[in-house]
C-alpha cells in the first residue's frame, strides 16, 4: 500500500544564508535500516554512492564536501518519482569516478536531516560544498539537465575545492588508454600525483608536506603554492570552533582570535564578513599583529578566483587600511 506523499510538490528548499550542517549530531545508536520491498533499489555498494544516515552525516556529507561536492538525494520509500531519479544519479556518480559523491538519504528514517535542509518536497537534491548547501532542485529532472547541472557545479567549485581537480586527474588516469598509432601522453608529475592522492584521501598533513616539498625546490611554482594554501585551509576548516566569531567579537585586538574567526566565517560560506573583519584588524593594530592579519587576509584571497568581486572589493579596502 502506498503512503500519502504531502511533500511531493515542486518547491525547493530554502538555501538563503549559511546553514550550519554541523548542528546535526549523530544519535547514540545508528538509524535503523528498514527492509521495505517498495523502496527504490538500494545503492549497489559503489565507491561514490553512499547510503547516509543521521549517524554518518557529518563524515559522509559535511567532512567529505570539504574535498569534493556531495550531491544529497533526499527520497522516501513511498515516493514514486524518487524511484526514477535515484538510479540516474547513482549511474552519473559512478561514471564521474569520485569527482563528486552521491549521498542517498531516506527522509523518513532520518527526519532531522530533512528538517535541517528545510525540505518541503521529495525528491529533493541538494549540492553541498565546503560544508554548506550551494544549490538545489526538487522533482525529477531529465538526464541531460542533470548532467548540465552537475557540470555547472563543478565549474563553479573547481577553484574552491582542490579535490575536484585531483579526482578528475585520477579518473582520467583510470580510463585513459594510449590509442594505437598515437603518441603517448606526457607523464604526470609524480610529485603532484602523490600530493593529489593524499588530498583525495583526506590526508591533509601528507598533502601539505608534498606540496611544500615542491615549493622547497621550486619556490616560484604557482600551482603548488595555490594548492598548498587550499590544503592548509581545508585542514583548518575541519577543526573550526563554532564559538570563534563570538570570542573574536569580544576581543577585537586579539589577532589570533580575529584570524580564527575569519577562517570560521569563510568555512561557513561567508567570506565577505571574514574579509571585513581582517581589514578592520589591519586598521586597528600595528607591528607584527597588523602584518599577521594582513598576510592571513591575502592568503584567504587566494582561495577564490582573482576576479571575484568580493576579493576585488576587499583588496581595495585593505589598500585603504594600509595607506
User: Cα 115 vs. chain centroid, distance in angstroms?
Assistant: 20
Cell representation of residue 90: 547513482
Beta bridge partners of 73: 104, 125
Beta bridge partners of 138: 124
Catalytic residue among 50, 68, 76, 79: 79
Quote the CA–CA distance of 107 and 89 in Å, as a whole number.
17
Q: Which of 236, 171, 238, 163 is nearest to 199 (CA)?
A: 163
Asked if the peptide bond before residue 5 counts as cis, ω within 30 degrees of 0, the response is no
Catalytic residue among 49, 52, 70, 82: 82
Q: Alpha helix locations (H) across the chain?
A: 57, 80-96, 111-117, 143-157, 162-175, 190-200, 204-217, 222-238, 244-250, 255-267, 271-284, 287-301, 309-322
Q: Are 261 and 276 in contact (CB under 8 A)?
A: no
Active site residue 82: yes
Quote the CA–CA distance of 137 and 149 in Å, as a whole number.
10
Active site residue 79: yes
Residues 6+ away with beta carbon under 8 Å from 232: 204, 208, 299
| Active-site residue set | 79, 82
Amino acid at each position: 500500500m502506498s503512503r500519502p506523499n504531502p511533500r511531493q510538490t515542486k518547491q525547493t528548499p530554502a538555501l538563503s544564508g549559511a546553514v550550519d550542517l554541523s548542528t546535526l549530531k549523530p544519535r547514540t545508536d545508528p538509524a535503523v535500516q528498514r527492509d521495505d520491498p517498495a523502496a527504490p533499489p538500494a545503492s549497489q555498494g559503489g565507491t561514490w554512492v553512499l547510503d547516509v544516515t543521521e549517524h554518518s552525516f557529518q563524515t559522509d556529507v559535511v567532512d567529505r564536501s570539504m574535498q569534493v561536492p556531495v550531491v544529497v538525494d533526499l527520497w522516501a520509500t513511498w515516493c514514486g518519482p524518487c524511484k526514477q531519479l535515484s538510479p540516474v544519479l547513482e549511474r552519473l556518480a559512478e561514471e564521474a569516478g569520485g569527482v563528486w559523491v552521491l549521498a542517498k538519504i531516506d527522509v523518513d528514517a532520518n527526519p532531522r536531516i530533512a528538517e535541517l535542509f528545510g525540505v518541503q518536497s521529495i525528491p529533493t537534491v541538494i549540492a553541498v560544498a565546503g560544508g554548506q548547501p550551494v544549490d538545489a532542485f526538487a522533482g525529477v529532472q531529465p538526464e541531460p539537465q542533470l548532467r548540465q547541472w552537475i557540470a555547472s557545479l563543478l565549474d563553479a567549485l573547481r577553484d574552491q575545492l582542490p579535490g575536484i581537480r585531483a579526482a578528475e586527474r585520477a579518473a582520467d588516469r583510470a580510463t585513459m588508454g594510449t590509442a594505437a598509432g598515437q603518441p603517448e601522453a606526457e607523464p604526470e608529475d609524480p610529485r603532484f600525483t602523490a600530493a593529489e592522492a593524499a588530498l583525495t584521501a583526506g590526508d591533509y598533513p601528507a598533502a601539505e608536506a608534498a606540496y611544500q616539498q615542491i615549493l622547497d625546490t621550486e619556490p616560484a611554482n604557482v600551482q603548488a603554492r595555490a594548492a598548498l594554501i587550499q590544503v592548509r585551509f581545508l585542514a583548518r576548516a575541519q577543526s573550526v570552533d563554532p564559538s570563534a566569531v563570538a570570542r573574536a567579537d569580544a576581543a577585537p585586538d586579539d589577532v589570533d582570535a580575529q584570524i580564527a574567526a575569519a577562517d570560521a566565517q569563510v568555512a561557513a560560506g561567508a567570506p565577505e564578513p571574514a574579509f571585513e573583519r581582517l581589514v578592520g584588524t589591519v586598521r586597528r593594530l600595528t607591528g607584527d599583529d597588523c602584518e599577521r592579519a594582513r598576510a592571513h587576509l591575502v592568503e584567504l584571497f587566494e582561495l577564490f578566483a582573482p576576479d571575484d568581486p568580493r576579493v576585488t572589493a576587499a583588496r581595495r579596502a585593505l589598500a585603504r587600511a594600509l595607506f
